[in-house]
Structure 1
Amino acid sequence: MTSTVSDHLQLDSWIGETARAIRQFDWSNTPLGAIDDWPQHLRSVVQVMLRNALPMAVLWGEEGTLLYNDAYAKFSGARYPRILGMSIVEAWPEAAEFNRNVVDAGLRGESLSYHDISFELAREGESAEVWLDLHYSPVASNEGLPVGTLAIVVETTGRVLLERNRASAEAAFREASERLQLALNSGAVRGTFVWEIRANRVKGDERFARTFAFTDDEVDTGFPIERALAVVHPADRERVSALISRTVRDGTPYRAEYRVGSEDEGWTWIAASGRCEYDADGQPRRFPGVIVDIHDRKIAEERLKELTRGLEDKVSEAVAARVAVEAQLRQSLKMEALGAMTGGVAHDFNNTLQAISGNLQLLQYLPPDDSRVPARVQAALEAVQRGAKLASQLLSFARRQPQSPVVINPRRLFDELRELLQHAVGSGVSIATLLPDHPWNFCVDRNQLENALLNLAINARDAIRGDGKFTVACSNETLDAVACEGKDLRPGEYVRLTASDTGSGMTPEVLERAFEPFFTTKPDGHGTGLGLSMVFGFVKQSGGHIAVSSTIGVGTTVEILFPRSGDHESAPAETPTMTALTGNATVLVVDDDPAVLASTVAILEAMHFAVLKASNDAAALSVLESGLGVDLILTDVVMPGRVKCADLAEWAFAQARPVPVIYASGYTRDILSRDGVLRPNVTLLNKPYRAEMLAREISTALQRAAQGFIADMYVHKTCAFCASI
């Protein structure tokens, strides 16, 4: 029954246009058979494919039956959706021989990769040459046998053509430069000129006249330099004038590249060179020079710049896409690990619920004054705390959040993660932890570190295949230059984390490819081949080093080194104790869950508070606006209706004497995190909470309100809340 529900949920989780097409397609006439009969390993690889932003396809069985995601559908063009469910050989007949080899290689358990491979593909009714990066990885069944191939397609046509055009432009640029040098060396110039500075007359030869569109008579008799500058392109004119003035003033050689001509006739690039001659008194007398045609070279330069900018944009887009895909893959891998723990988590949750249910049922049969009642109540409360702890661990692990390094104490890490690791490896695998008396702290992203250790635990579980042992160890290491050689590390102090198992081990050939993306040997068919590659990337980004050793029949050991941190770990929160209350305050309780509302009201009344209640925020606002005196508002965060809890906080803060507000939430990443800031009179209380915690928060909020410490509450509570999200 559990498997059927899980499969159904998995199908419902397939989102996107292609996912809908797969669900609606009649697979009964294909080698895959009806979709409800698909094996779990096929569903798992299809789900990974559908969630990916890159064009991906699954080629299943000996026929290579084709399934693909939205990005692949877009790549296939007019073939979509016709080719869904077809053999890959029939879907792309122009590449039939190539695809036949891919299918056969995948069924032999071989991986293939091709870079910038050229194909002639039919597109929009015409044959076109395209270039592709292709990566193929075998997909294994539950028994470890290859049953299909996972294909990743990245079209590189744009980049290849840009690189080819850039090479052509560079060749043209070199050719133009060579022609320029030949022209200069052979005297093939566009004219010579001389500027008689005192008379302000520019004269030149007939080639100069043609270049500047003057008549032969004009260049023979001469004309003011202002007329020559008038022929220069407006965008270049000021710069050319400044260079001429500098040469006349300082005697520096004159060298300028600019355009001459007109809007109607077009502009031509020339290079002008010259020098200024002075008389015996040091006064400027004449300015001879030569002009050379550089039009072809400048056009080639501009074309090269445009192509370079285009290539840089393509590279930037590719890098951004890769970053986005890596983030998606990390989250997909995390969800895969979460799925692997589902069985153990369900077992523990059911045990917790049974403990609560059993104690509550027993209370029904016991008289109120029975001596066993307090013990049964305490046992039920402890079971609730165990369930809350498990929920908190799952939420922390599943959360999508940016990298945020924190200082970690290995002993506390192992203590808090041990239960989650046990869920990952299953009851048949025992877990051992080894630590020194005083382990050093280190600084990494806690969420990604947990994800890495969980994936190592899942790998160990799959390698053990039954009963065995998984050991997580920590040691303090001081590495010298020799020990750091080949590790991309600097000599210094490091924390070594070691994860070892008593599994089947890896052959030297498999060990060599252990960190290769999409490479997997997992026998259950659920592996994506991304686990160790993601762990490798996380360790390197954190400034550490990772190494794997393995022996067939003995097991595998993964060693990770992180730099030691000299900072102190934050002290753990203290367990709250019951707070004495005066019992003379009025509390408005707001919650849309009748059971939660009734229990909360009963608890507060037992604490001798006067209690008002409302089943939604709109009803609560009506109570507040009616004029009834309220000293504190306790409200759930997420409730239906147009009036929100934030509106209650705004009302409370706007009063002459601000009314303190306590938000009660079962999930700190709900609508509160959109703003990331609480009002100064607002406190956050996480569900499920004990009566002692509720009493403490109410007492603190009332005392601060009474003493006017709103500013102090804003500094501490807001920062604490922002850090928690």
Structure 2
Amino acid sequence: MSVALDLQPDAAVTARALLERTDWSATPLGPRATWSPALSIVVDTVLDSQIPKVLMWGPDHVMIYNDGYSEIAGSKHPAAFGGTVPTVWPEIWDWNRRILEAGFGGRSESYRDQPMRLFRNGSFCDVVFDLFYTPIRDVSGAVGGVLCTVIEHTEREAVRHDLRRSNDRFRAAVAAIHSTLWTNSAEGRMSGEQPGWSALTGQTEAEYEGFGWASAVHPDDADASIAAWNEAVATRSTFVFEHRVRVTSGEWRQFAIRAVPIIDEDGTLREWVGVHTDVTEERLAQEQLREHAGILERQIRHRERAEEQLRQLNETLEQRVVQAVEERQAAEAALNRAQRLETVGKLTGGVAHDFNNLLQVVSGNLQLLLKDIAGNERAETRVRNALAGVSRGAKLASQLLAFGRRQALEPKVVNVTRFVRGMDDMLRRAIGEGVEVETVFGGGLWNTFIDPTQIENALLNLAINARDAMDGQGKLTIELGNAHLDDDYARRHEVTAGQYVMLAVSDTGSGMSPEIIERVFEPFFTTKAEGKGSGLGLSMVYGFVKQSGGHVNIYSEVGQGTTIRLYLPRSTEREDQEIEVDTGPVSGGTETVLVVEDDEEVRATAVEMLTDLGYRVLKAVDAQSALNVVESGIPIDILFTDVVMPGKLKSPELARKAKERLPNLAVLFTSGYTENSIVHGGRLDAGVQLLSKPYTREALARKIRHVVANQAQLAVARKATLKGPSLSPAAAEAPATVAAPKSGGTGAGSPTAEAGTKGTVLLVEDDGLIRMNTADMLKDLGYVVVEAGRAEDALTAIQTVPFDALVTDVNLPGMSGTELADEAREVKPGVGVVFATGDRHVAGVVPGEDARVTILSKPYGMEDLDAAIARVLDCQRVPA
């Protein structure tokens, strides 16, 4: 296959240039913009490598290689770049076919000193390679290509061949002009007259015969000499050795030995010719020289090191003293600041807890009062004004918790560029027309893992502060970019080194002095006039960013304006979608709720609100009292408990013990300050349901119905699980999968409505046990089921799998069920939708308005499920 290149054929062109200029749309790989992340990453790795590498990708085996491999390709470069393996190397295609089959089968292979015959540089030539083949997997886990590392040894083998020929000629030309010349038989034994050896050692023929010569060798060297000699004889290689020999005077002398085999033209080894050379004085001189040289070298090295250290000490002594003092002062200041902020943070956390309890009492009673005065417009207005004051108080408490890093964050993967653009109108209304707003976005911005509500508040706070600093007239610049904080910066600023998304807010206002900058993040510190600010804005920003694992940096000069940079932790995950909030009418229930609250007034308010919603209410003043109620055997459906309470037994432990006694018990926590009992790393523990104080009657009603419905559906799923196979963790987290009906179907594994099936259902439920149970119901009813535990998997299924109905939970992580349904109906407008939820109302869904949409309340059974799907499918079958 030919590849379109935007360049003239040139053997010197780099592989990187070829990658950029190649028209990939003319190749099986398609345009680079459509390449998978795995292919893009491995291509960059190959091109950056200094070792010759070639990637053979896809079923057509398209070749992408680096500059090192271009030398292997020879005159076939650059035409081979982007070509296919059988086209570029037809002479070795049989070899490559077998290798690629193994590689795409997931097997790695390697070959050392592999001979080949290639056609390159205009002719066939014999080459020798080291070859290492590695399968490369795509994001799906399947093998997408095979990477080959090539090391050529052709020249080395040629040199070895020449050396062997040279050695053959040299062996017969050993110069032995010395009285220690000796010969041995082909088997390596000394025999016959050896005048040189006899003159050297005084041994007679009978004494040196065979291996008798070894008795003249020093006892410490004899065994090693015989072993080395036998190895040389066995391999027919030149014998080179040193040992001590007792000469005729009785003295031990050091000798260097060299012996070579004499081989006839037919390859027969005829004899060995060797010589002993006395090197005693030479070795002694060398040893003494080495010893003296070593001593001299060490002395010189020590002297140079001492001189260098002295020079550096003289040059940097004053600077290092100043630096050490500054570093110590900075460290002490940072420690003092951190301790001060930590102390204030603990104080604000406790204050916020008590404050939220007070607000809950006021808020709850005002909402109950609102029902009592219904129809009295003047009284209703006053109560609503009071409730607005409660909301402002709750915001103040939230700011205190943010500064103290003790709020329960709900972070999501956020695209900050889109987020800031979405706030444009809000920011302009907040700061007024007198301030010019400029936004600067860097290219290729990363996503960040952050609480969207808190970052929105932070940006709004920074913008309002900037407006006030400019007296409503000036320029506000919002800048976004990727940033890397290195180890040195991280060490000096108490932050983890790594990658961040930087959000900077700059103004042209009055600026701040160093003294003000030192205190600017302290709560209640403000430079604004009395009544113009609470002093909690920047402290909230600081606490929230720190709790999120980020960093805040401020730069300001008096009269020159201020820049505040927020470094938000980078996320490599896909952006989460915003979940739509249900705004429909609220409903109560008749279940029994155990309210656990140590504050008497808060407890009384919660009891009255729940009673007003129709619930039967029990109450307890602490966790131990609540456990006593549970163990008394009184039927309880819901445990509604404060998180922070006095006593040894804590709320999470109460919940665990209560669920051991009552497995179907629904648990809802509430608090104005969660400490660390159900919040870790600033985030709610998995599976925990929390209603933060102060809460409204509507929020309480919705949350109660949500936890009750989910617990009821879990109970149905557990009962079904006891009758069938258990759900493995892997199954609970598996991506979208297809299962045929258990009976009555003929299309096992086929996600289409074939003969004998009722149709295909796409089931989306994040709770693994509920999903498994519902899938079993659907298969028993005769449906083909496509399962998905996440919205992302469901979106893929929507694009790739034919289906007749969508059954989805409303409260999915990352994307709401209503948004998922909108996506499904864009792809397949006539598809039926069943919302399986604990809420009796779904935002945007009016019962009876669209026959293709219905609500299935949890808990549901097989008949309820079948009827709901039948309703939305029947309307599709009515003739137009």
- In which range does the TM-score fall when normalised by the shorter chain? 0.3 to 0.5
TM-score (norm 1): 0.40
TM-score (norm 2): 0.34
Greater RCO between the two (CA within 8 Å, min separation 6)?
1
Tell me which structure has the larger Cα radius of gyration: 2
